[in-house]
Each structure stands twice: as structure tokens, then as C-alpha cells.
Structure 1
Amino acid sequence: MSYETIAILMFSSMMLMLLTGQRVFGAIGFVAVVSAFFLWGDRGGYDLGFSAAMKLMKWYPLLTLPMFIFMGYILSNSRIADDLYKMFHVWMGGLRGGLAIGTIGLMVLISAMNGLSVAGMAIGATIALPELLKRGYDKQMVTGVIQAGSSLGILVPPSVVLVLYAMIARQPVGQLWLAGVLPGLMMAGMFVLYIAVRCWVQPSLGPVLPKEDRDIPMAEKLALLRAGLLPLGIFAAMMVPFVNGWTSLVESSAIGAIAALLAAVLKRRMTWDVFYHSVRSTLGISCMFMWIILAALAFGAVFDGLGAVKAIEDVFTEKLGLSPWMILILMQLSFILMGTFLDDTAMLVIVAPLYVPLVKALGFDLIWYGVLYTITTQIAYMTPPFGYNLFLMRAMAPPEIGLKDIYVSIIPFVFVMVLALTLVMIFPDIALWLPESVYNK
């Protein structure tokens, strides 16, 4: 049996297991170990899983994962995120579409607090969405705002997805996070520009708040500003020492976790219930990601041993005669297709053993490709008919927002994200300038 046939059998077996409802790490890890067993015998099958586990345990930057997840849950469960929205509500309510613009700002800061898109979606749907609807904002527009804004969580550091990509692609987490900063802020700025222009053309979509709601003493406004900017201060305390080379990435993550804990204590919002649920949630998500990384490493090791990547590269470049850019675009399109039924982590661990070595062989930068993958995943999250974020929003939205509203709401934001993806592809320095500047300093 040829190696190409074995590779196809591995992928088809894995997809079949996923379609039967098996957990992602279980399906991938099982196929990897069973394939190694049949290819190289008892010792090969046993050694593969053990070697992947040891490689995972020795990966020091993985310690950042539970730190950042814990920081996000502490800030969310202690309701510090509520202060953020109050700040945007007061300071931006006088603009057309101001609350929607403020919601994008909220999502950027939530992303910097948590690194998961689900957290932004949950906070946006429970805090921002009811308030926007009550203030007369168009339901389709604000539904799209929350879905698009929440997707920034997997791009703006500390992105948990980029940690997973770093482990599989064997790239520095710090460089990947810095590479996501400018594209993430650029995309957020493009969302804001779209909202501002749309509400200027159609004022009824985002009405200005009544004067009585905006007539708040300056002292109260400043108090809300201080409370709302607290998460930004925590983020700065964590990232500034890292960017300047004073601390390592792991040390910075510990600073962020401690700062979030102290903030909750000083604001008298740290209860036993908040602490318990934050630790429990952190443990659950960290273990899930570790199992996924372990399975992906084992699966990738089989592919390396088969030489399947080289065979597939030859099919694309020699037999089909495709250029490197055409192959890259086809890879991005495949992510959008897979995003209709898989989440970001599942997509990454399924195709990373094939795509990452292929991207490197084609001569592309793996840091830059990590940003492209993440933006494409954001688009896939929101692409009908089965985008991951569409169903999350359906589960969290109030009854007056139907599935049709959710589908229609996301169309303009998908076009904005495709434009952002195109810009990063044409101008790689948007992603690479910051990490090169910091690490070459």
C-alpha cells in the first residue's frame, strides 16, 4: 500500500469518527496510535504516544495557557467586564452608532482579557445586546456587531488558538501574539468604520442616546472611565515588560493572572464562588487543549514518518502545476469549508500536520501563515449555513432575533473580514512588522 493511500485512509478514518460524535482529541489520537501500530509494530505504536506526551510536557510556554485562561475568567466572573460596557455606554452614547462602536471596543478588551471568542460572545450577548435593543438599535446590525467583535478573541493576544498553533507549528508564541496585534486592531478599526458610515447614512440603525441619559456629572464619567480602563491597565502591566524584554512570556502571563486576581480583590468582588468557578473552568479548558495538542503531535509524527507531506506537495506543484499562491488560496478556502462543521481547534489539529510543513516547503513565513489561518477561521466561524458563531448566537440571543436575522446580520462583516484577510496576504508586514521590530531590538 502506498504512503499516499495510507494518508488518505488516516484522514477518512478520522473524519468518520468525528462525524459519529467522538471527541476531537479522541478521534485524532486514536487514528494516530492505531496507524503507528500497524505501520511500525507494537513498539512504534507505544512510543509514538509516549514521545508526544513528553514533548508536550517539556514545552515550557504551555504554562501560559492556564494563566491567561484564569485571568480571563477572573475578570469575567468578577463582573469587571460590566464596568467596561458602562464606560462605553456613557462616553460614546452621543454618537450615531456609538453604543455599537463601543461594543467593538468592549470586544477588543475582552479579547485581551481572555483569548477565547466564546467569552466575547457570552459577554456581548448578555450585557451589550439587550441594552442595544432597548436603545432602539437595529437588531440585525447589532447581532452582526457582537458576532464579528467576538471573533477577535482568537486573533488579539493572548489568543489561546495561537498558542495551539505555536505548539503544532513549533513557532514562538510571543512572535505569533505580536503578529496578531496589528491585524486584530486593523480589523476592529474596519468594523468601527463600517458601523460609523452605515449609521451616518441610516441614522435609524444606531440612534443617539437621549440627552437625559447622557447628562451625567463629569466626576461620575471619570469614575466610570477609571473602572472601565482597569482591564487595559492589567493588559499593559502584563505586556509592556514582555515587549521590552524584561520578562519572559511565562512570567508575563503570571503577572497578568496575579494582577487580575488583585483587581478583583481590591474591588471587593472576589468571592469563594467566583474563585471556585474560575479555577474549575480554567482546569477544564486547559486540559482540553492539552489533550488536543497531544493528539495533534502524535498525528503529525505519523505524517512525518510517512513522508506524506512531500508526496502531496509533488501532486500540487508537479502533477497539477499550481503556483505556491494558488495552493495557499486553496488551503484558505478549505478552512472556510471546514468551518461550517468544525471549530477552530478541530480544524487546526486535523490539517496542521499536512498544511504547516507544506506552507514551509512553499517558502512562506509560518508566523505570517498563523495569522492568515486565524483570520480565515474567524471568517469560517460566521459563514452560513453552519458557522460556529451563528449557532452560539442563536443559543444566546433573545427570542425576537431569529435565525434569518443572524444569517443576514453577518454578511457585511464577512466582507470586511475578507478585505482584512486580503490586505494581510498582499502586505505581510502588517503581521510581521511588530514581531520583527521587537525580537530584533
Structure 2
Amino acid sequence: MTYEMIALLMFASMVLALISGQLVFAGIGFVASAAALLLYGPGAIDLPFNQVFKLFNWYAMLTLPMFIYMGYILAESGIAEDLYRALHVWFGRFTGGLAIGTIFLMVIISAMNGLSVAGMAIGATIALPEMIRRGYDKVLISGVVQGGSSLGILIPPSVVLVLYGMIARQPVSKLWFAGVGPGLLMAALFIIYIYVRVKLNPKLAPQLTDEELNMPLREKLALARAGVIPFAIFFFMTGLFVFGVTSLVESSAVGATAATLAAIYKGHFNWRVIRDTSLKTLNVSCMFMWLILAALAFGTVFDGLGAVKAIEFLFVKQWDLNPWTIIIMMQLSFIVMGMFLDDTAMLVIVAPLYIPLVKALDLGFDNQLIWYGILYTITCQIAYITPPFGYNLFLMRSLAPKEISLIDIYRSIWPFAAIMLLTIIILMVFPQIALWLPEHMKVKG
């Protein structure tokens, strides 16, 4: 059997294992281990052993449990709920103000959390009921929450970008900076869309009355203080990192500490919160570590067979495909896979193939793997929110009030998916939107 056939058999076996319902890390790790033993004999036992030490030597790995802990502790502290009440007053007089305020809420939550699921959970449980009660169109606001939650894996501190950086062996700090411009661009496009659509059809988002917005000065000041805490956490975590005071790992520790102090200040820090948050953090962190370990083992065997070079030769030399055609084909494959798999599983599956291929392509600019990491995260989120099997669609249905049906959720997402696609096109035409900050910012560590 040729090496090309062995590589194809490995990839097919991995896909079959995942389709059969096996855990992602177990399916990928089993295929990698079995292939290594069959190809290299008993000496292959050193392969996973060496990958474990490579994983533990990645200093950036320490950031994952810190950010995950921070997200869970913030969800328990009630900070997001207070922040939304503040945005309700600040944006209530604008056209589509609550919907626009929800996008701002998602941006702030993303800057404190790094996971799209957290943003969706907060938006669905806090923002949706409030907007429905005030007569907002349920299809519009369902799309607002789903679209806004997609910012969680793009705006720093994105946990998915940390994972991509480890697998692609790229500096996480550069990936974070690369996500800022596209994340804010996408948020701005969401806000423009909401404003224009509500301006054309004011019935979609009735303006709040003076009675709803008028409140005593003491209550307004209390709401203003509620908005200070998230910005303080963001500054101490990301601001110190940007200005070179802290390294990436130190920044994650600052964020976790600030979130804990905020929970104590709010009076929501007790033994139950500590236990639940610690268990959730441990579960998610271990899941990420097993995924990375499986990806490293699979990639080592796969690359050792020469599969990556063979695919590069097939696409670039034999078929003579344009580099941008190859990039578009990759993105389309992410959308198809996203109907069945989550973003981390997709990254683990295609990393051995796509990352070396992107590195080999001549796209006409530097830092191609940094730029591609941003494209990957946006495309994964498009896959998450598009029917028929988008993961976030069903998550939204489980979280949303009963007034919002699955059909409403399906109808709501298309404009926001189109805006995400537009963002990708803009980034392909103007890659410096993602690359300018990483090329000009210097950070500690």
C-alpha cells in the first residue's frame, strides 16, 4: 500500500469514527495511535509520550483554564444582567436601541469571556425576554443574539484563537490583535444593518416611552456603576497586556483575579459558586487538552507519511489551482463540516492538512497563518448558525423564550450570516484589517 493510500485511509477512518458518535479526541487519538503502531511498530509508543511533553511545554496553555474560569465566574456574578439594564437606559431612545445595545453587550461580554456560547446564553436569557416584552420583532432579535454571540470567538480573549495558535504554532498575542479589527468591523456592520432595517420598518423595534426610561438619579448612577465593572475587568486584563505591562499568561491571571473580586463585590461568591465554577473549568480545560494532544499525535503521523506534501503537490502543482481558489474551497469545507461538528473538532480534523497548505500558498502578504486563523473563526461561526444542523441554532432554541420557535430562529439568521460572509470577503480583499495590529504591536513575552 502506498503512503498516499495510507494517509487517505487514516483520514477516512477518522471521519468514520466521528460520524459513529465517538468522542472527538478519542476517535482522532485512536486512529493516530493505531496508525503509528502499524507503521512504526512498538517504538511508536514514544509518539504520544513526546506529544504530552510538547503540550505541557506550551506556556500559553496556562491561559485556557484562566479564561474559562473567568467566563464562568462572571456568569455567576450577575454582572451581565446589570450591564444590560444600563445599556437599556443608555440606548433606549435610539432607533432599535435595545437591539443595538445587545450588540454592545455581546462585544463587552466577548472581551471578558472569549466563548460564543457564553454570549448566547446571556443574550437569550437576559436580552431576549426584555426585548419581547417591549414589542420588538422576535425574528429580528433572535438574529441579533445569534449574530452578536459570534463575536465571542473573535474579539480577545478568544479561547478558540488560543487553541488555533497552539495547533498552528502561532503567537496567541498576534492572533488576539488580528481579531480586534475584524471583530469590531463585524459588530459595526451588525449595528448598521439593525439601524437601517428598523429605520425602514419602525414596527420591528418600538421606541421606549419616557415613562420606561425616566428613573431617579440615584438609580441611574447605580446603573452607571454597573457598567464600570466590566470595563475595569477588560482594562486590567487586556489593557495591561496591550501596553506591555503583562504577558499573555499574566494577563489571563489578572482577568481571573478581577472576575473573582467582582463576584465577591457583588456578593455572589460562595462555596457553591466555587465548586460549580471549578468543576466546569476543569471539564472544559481537560477537553481542550485532550483535543490538542490528539491533534498533535495525528498530525505527526500524517505529516510523517508525506500526506501534506502530496496534497500541496496535487493542488498547487498538478491541478495548478489559484491560491485564492484553494482558500475558498477550504472555507466551504468548514461550512459543510460545521453542520455536524463544533469548531474545535473541525480545527483538529483539518489542521494537519490546511495549516501547512496555507503556509505554502503565495497569497502576496506575510503572516498568512495569522490571517487564516481569523478567517477560520468567522467561517466556523457561519457554519454554527446556518440550517439545517447548525449547532448554535438548537442551542438558541433551548435557551430562548417559548415565544420564539425554531422556524423564527431559522428565518432570523440569514442577514447576519450574510454580514459574516461579507466580512470574510472584505478580509480577503483587505487582509491588513486583520494584520495591521499584529505587525505594529509589541507585547511582553
The TM tier, using the shorter chain, reads: over 0.9
2:376 pairs with 1:399? no
**Post-superposition offset of 1:259:** 0.9
Structure 1 counterpart of 2:6: 6
Alignment of 1:255-270 (within 5 A): 255-270=254-269
1:229 alignment partner, SS class: helix
Letter of the 1:40 partner, please give it.
Y
Letter of the 1:376 partner, please give it.
T
Letter of the 1:411 partner, please give it.
W
Aligned mates of 1:4, 1:408 — CA distance in 2: 44
Structure 1 counterpart of 2:276: 277
Alignment of 1:33-432 (within 5 A): 33-44=33-44, 46-364=45-363, 365-432=368-435
Aligned mates of 1:420, 1:112 — CA distance in 2: 19
1:384 alignment partner, SS class: coil
Aligned mates of 2:285, 2:413 — CA distance in 1: 30
- Contact 1:340–1:388 under 8 Å retained in 2: yes
2:320 alignment partner, SS class: coil
**Post-superposition offset of 1:96:** 2.0
1:216-261 CA-partner distances (Å, limit 9, x unpaired): 2344223212212311211111112211222111111111111111
Query: For the aligned residues, what is the CA RMSD?
Result: 1.3
Aligned mates of 1:218, 1:431 — CA distance in 2: 42
Q: Work out the percentage of aligned pairs sharing the same amino acid.
A: 65
**Post-superposition offset of 1:318:** 2.1
Structure 2 counterpart of 1:31: 31
Stretches of structure 1 lacking an aligned partner (at least 5 in a row):
none
Give the TM-score taking structure 2 as reference length. 0.97
Aligned mates of 2:221, 2:95 — CA distance in 1: 22
- How many residues in Structure 1 have an aligned counterpart in Structure 2? 440
1:439 alignment partner, SS class: coil
- Contact 2:76–2:263 under 8 Å retained in 1: no
Aligned mates of 2:204, 2:217 — CA distance in 1: 28
**Post-superposition offset of 1:160:** 0.8
- Contact 2:397–2:406 under 8 Å retained in 1: yes
Letter of the 1:314 partner, please give it.
F
Aligned mates of 1:402, 1:4 — CA distance in 2: 48
**Post-superposition offset of 1:269:** 2.1
- Contact 1:86–1:228 under 8 Å retained in 2: no
Letter of the 1:354 partner, please give it.
L
**Post-superposition offset of 1:71:** 1.0
Aligned mates of 1:7, 1:225 — CA distance in 2: 58
Aligned mates of 2:371, 2:378 — CA distance in 1: 11
**Post-superposition offset of 1:72:** 1.1
Letter of the 1:160 partner, please give it.
V
- Distance verdict in 2 for CA 1:226–1:89, change over 3 Å: same
- Contact 1:91–1:221 under 8 Å retained in 2: no
1:378-436 CA-partner distances (Å, limit 9, x unpaired): 11111111111111112212222222111110011111111111111111111111111
Instruction: Return structure 1 stretches of 4+ with deviation > 6 angstroms.
Output: none
1:121-157 CA-partner distances (Å, limit 9, x unpaired): 1111111111111110001000101111111111111
1:251 alignment partner, SS class: helix
**Post-superposition offset of 1:280:** 1.2
1:304-336 CA-partner distances (Å, limit 9, x unpaired): 211101100111122222111111111011101
**Post-superposition offset of 1:440:** 8.7
- Contact 2:241–2:443 under 8 Å retained in 1: no
Stretches of structure 2 lacking an aligned partner (at least 5 in a row):
none
1:183-227 CA-partner distances (Å, limit 9, x unpaired): 111101110110011111110111111210111234422321221
Letter of the 1:409 partner, please give it.
S
- Contact 1:53–1:294 under 8 Å retained in 2: yes
